[in-house]
Amino acid sequence: LLLTVGILQDQYDIAHLVRDQYQHFVVDEYQDVSPLQQRLLELWLGDRDSLCVVGDASQTIYSFTGATPDYLLDFRARHPGATVVKLVRDYRSTPQIVHLANGLLSQASGRAAHHRLELVSQHETGPEPRYAEYADEPAEAEGTARHIRDLTASGVPASGIAVLFRTNSQSETYEQALADACVPYQLRGAERFFDRPEVREAGAALRAAARFGRNDPLLDEAHGLSAQVRAVFQAKGWSPQPPAGSGAVRDRWESLAALVRLADDFARARPAATLTDLMTELDERAGAQHAPTVEGVTLASLHAAKGLEWEAVFLVGIYDGMMPIAYARTAEQIEEERRLLYVGVTRARRHLTISWSLSRTPGGHAGRKVSPFLDGLRTAPTKTGQITTRTRVPPGGMERGDTTSPRPRKRTPARCRVCGRTLTDAGAMKLMRCEDCPSDMDEALYERLHAWRADQASRTGQPAYCVFTDKTLIAIAEAVPEQEGELARIPGVGVRKTRRFGAQVLAICAGDERVEGGGDD
């Protein structure tokens, strides 16, 4: 852009050639142009005014790139003869979704808010937006995956569903949950979590530390796995304190912070774990997420979702501190966060779910609160272990007749069936034991199950983890179920997969060699 502006400013003959070739201009998303882009547009136009711009100041979400809605809002001042057409008919979303979107903007402040439009849906009525509160982030991801599976079973194509989050570092939990639920997905606007350059570099640094760290005085002084991971990252310039502002530097920090949290969870589940053990865990997670590109559910940040739409949208992690994000401190920054949520809401055509979790990890302090942007707008959330009615919640609290119990029942933490310790790592919870506790797995049975899974995956043309993940196969080989009920209770199996694969798996567990490597889909 800088070079083009320089050429058009300094080389009149080239500017004349360009203006002669291109006479009429249309600029979309005009609320998000930067001063540099605006200057280029002016140089293209010259002294002409054959220009049409389309924009919505309520969707300005790229101020960190220098974008400003001022050029849109001041357009008539610069072009007094311009015709202004207000586009208020919404042909995308149901009246229920449009009503929520209008409500979000009705609470906004600032210059953009003064120019907001009251949208009018052109669709027939649809379901009310759904609100869901979860005890922790893994439960939120698992619940989202279950609800997505229900939608696909009801006829909504996976390609018509999106899970949208505030930061790219949130994707890993949902990649894992969808993989475990055998739901195909694709990541938009960013690499898969383990494909990101900073994550790959961090993995290489951890792998080197695991191999040669005995000669590193920094690692010698770091006691415990979590401290060692922090020491490795800090040697590469990472700091426990986040950088100010947003953009690429913040995204890199968030990715490494997500790895630190993952290491903390792993260390809690396996106090004696080493860096080598952690790398094995990361490799397994990466393998589960590196499925072939498929037409599936879209995972994307709210910024990457701009301009797109889906039949069903899940807005996840909508708690205070993530929406608005913690580093949004000024009134202008907070209002941009509100607009970002507005963009997310208006991506949905018919189904919209907004969810949040009370803590990051199972059994953690439940100190989070739902985003204040939803105050006075949301219906009562569905809560685990709690009966709710779907009534409108006023700003002051519950309405009369709301049967929501005042306190959700606490989620019972999963405990190791060998030593009794509380489990926090997703893989350990699937095994129902600490990964460093002794296993009573039938090795021969595991090999038979592994061969059967490979054959199933080959014949159905899907990744092996979509049949069962490695940890689920281990859990089956440890439990050696004899009946369908026993098999269904194993984490990662459930009723649906029991119906599909139960007869074959139980036959393999019973030693029937005729099933191995074959069987019906």
The predicted-structure confidence for 328-340, as pLDDT tens digits, reads as follows 888 888 999 999 9
Predicted local distance difference test score (pLDDT) of residue 187? 78
* DSSP reduced 3-state for 313: strand
Asked if 41 contacts 4 with a C-beta cutoff of 8 angstroms, the reply is: no
Asked if 302 contacts 75 with a C-beta cutoff of 8 angstroms, the reply is: no
**DSSP 8-state assignment for residue 410:** P
C-alpha radius of gyration, the chain, whole number = 26
Predicted local distance difference test score (pLDDT) of residue 430? 62
CA dist 72 to 39, 40, 119, Å? 14, 15, 19
Mean pLDDT of 358-369: 84
- The answer, yes or no, to whether residue 180 has pLDDT greater than 50, is yes
Predicted local distance difference test score (pLDDT) of residue 95? 95
**CA atoms within 13 A of residue 339's CA, in its CB half-sphere:** 26
Predicted local distance difference test score (pLDDT) of residue 363? 75
Q: Structure pTM?
A: 0.59
* DSSP reduced 3-state for 241: coil
Question: Tokens 């938009």 appear where?
Answer: 188
Mean pLDDT of 142-163: 93
Q: Which residues contact 466 (CB under 8 A, 6 or more apart)?
A: 179, 182, 184, 291, 457
**Per-residue pLDDT tens over the stretch 236-288:** 788 888 776 555 676 688 788 888 888 887 888 788 888 888 888 888 777 65
Predicted local distance difference test score (pLDDT) of residue 218? 57
Least confident residue range of 123-132, 173-182, 319-328, 444-453: 173-182
pLDDT bracket for residue 515 (50, 70, 90): low
Q: Residue 145's Cα: distance from chain center in Å?
A: 11
**Residue 109 to residue 11: CA distance in whole angstroms:** 44
Peptide bond into 324 cis (omega under 30): yes
Query: What phi and psi, each to the nearest 5 degrees, are found at residue 495?
Result: -70, -45
**Per-residue pLDDT tens over the stretch 80-105:** 989 999 999 999 999 999 999 999 98
**Residue 328 to residue 61: CA distance in whole angstroms:** 13
